[in-house]
Amino acid sequence: MNNNIHSIYNINNTNKWFAIRSFYFNSYKNYTMKMHSHKRIEVMYVNFGEMEIEYLDHDIPKKMTLMTGEYVFIDAFYPHRITIYNNETQVFCIELSFASMSEEDNTSIHITLGTFIAHEPTFKKFIENNEPFFKLYDDGTILETFVCIQRYLQKKEDNSCDSYINLNLGALLLWIAKTQQEQYSHKVGITYLKEALFFINENYHLPITSRQIANQSNISQSYLNKLFKDAFAMTVNEYLNKLRIERSKKLIEQSNLSLTEIYKLIGLNSKQSFNRHFLRYNNMSPSEYRKNARYKMMRKSYIDGKDNIRYPDYVYNFVHDSSLTLEE
C-alpha cells in the first residue's frame, strides 16, 4: 500500500479529484535547479529541445533524458531536478494536488479517482502499477490537451475546479494511463524484464531480494511483479526460487556435494527453505530426488554395460557398496 497521503496511488484518495496548482510553459537554456520534492503531482513535457532529469529511486541517484515530444510523470514527494544545457528547450508543466472540500464546485461535473478506477480498466491498471516516476513518448495528444488547458486558464481569473478543467484533467490522466500500458507492455516492459532476468541469472546464487532486482531494473517492485506475472504467471520471488531449485537439481545429479552445501550455493539461507521450495516444485524432498537420481544412474550403467564409462565417485561407491548410507 502507498502511504504517501498526497500520492495518486494512495487508496484513501479514491473519493477525491484534483485542482491545478501551477501551469506554465517556459523556454530555458543553461538552466538547472536544486534537487527537490513537493506534495504536488507533476507532468513535465518537452515541446522542443532536450532536458535532463535527475531523480532518487529509493535513495539511488539516477538520470534520464527527455527529447522533443517526451514527457515525465512525477508523483508527489518524489525527489527530482531538471538540467538544460546549451540547446534552447521549451517545457510545459502542470502541477496538481487533491482539491479540498471548499475548492470543489458543486455546479461542475463530479469526478473522482474512484470513478475512473471503476469504469476505466486502463486507469485501474495504471493505479495498480504504482509507478511514481516514468517517461513516455507523445503522439501529439498530450500536447493538444496541454494547449487546451493553457488557453482556458488564460481566460479564467483563477485555477478553480470546473467541468471543463475536470474533464480535461480526466482526459490527460486517461491518455497517460493508456500510453503507459501500450509503451510499457510492448517495449519498456520487455526491456525491464530482460534486465531483471539477466540480473537474476547472474546473481541467483547470492541472497538477492526482489527490491534489489527492481532497483537494478530501474522499476518499482510492484511493476516488476506485474511483468513476471504477465510473462511467467508467477511473482519475481517465485521465479527466482524456481530457478534456484532447477540449479540445485543439476548439482544433485552431477556432484557429490552435500545438500547443505548445495542450498548455500544456490542462494537460499536454510535447509528448511530449501526443502520447502524443492517439495513445491518437484513433489519430493531433495534427499528423495538424490536417491532417485542415483538409482537412475545405476540402471543406466547396468543397461548400457559399458565398463569403460567413468561415473562420479559417489555413483561408483553406491553401486559397489550396498551398505553405503546416502548423505543428505
pTM: 0.58
Annotate 188-199 with b (16+ C-beta within 10 A) or e (fewer): bbeebbebbbeb
Q: What is the dihedral of CA 143, 149, 155, 156, to 10 degrees?
A: -160
Q: Is residue 43 within 8 Å of residue 76, measured between CB atoms?
A: no
What is the residue extent of each domain of the chain? 11-185, 239-320
- What count of other Cβ atoms lies within 10 Å of the Cβ of residue 306? 8
Q: In a 3-state reduction of DSSP, which class is residue 260?
A: helix
Name the residue type at position 196: A
pLDDT digit string (tens) for the chain, length 328 residues: 678 999 999 999 999 999 999 998 899 999 999 999 999 999 999 999 999 999 998 888 999 999 999 999 999 999 999 999 998 999 999 999 998 766 666 667 778 999 999 999 999 999 998 999 999 988 889 999 998 998 898 887 766 668 898 999 999 999 999 998 887 665 667 788 889 999 998 999 999 999 999 999 888 889 899 889 988 899 999 999 999 999 999 899 888 899 999 999 999 999 999 999 999 999 999 999 998 888 777 665 555 555 444 444 444 343 333 333 333 3
- Report the distance separating Cα 215 and Cα 229, nearest Å: 18
11-185: in CATH 3.40.50.970: no
Spatial CA neighbour of 163 closest among 108, 99, 113, 112 = 108
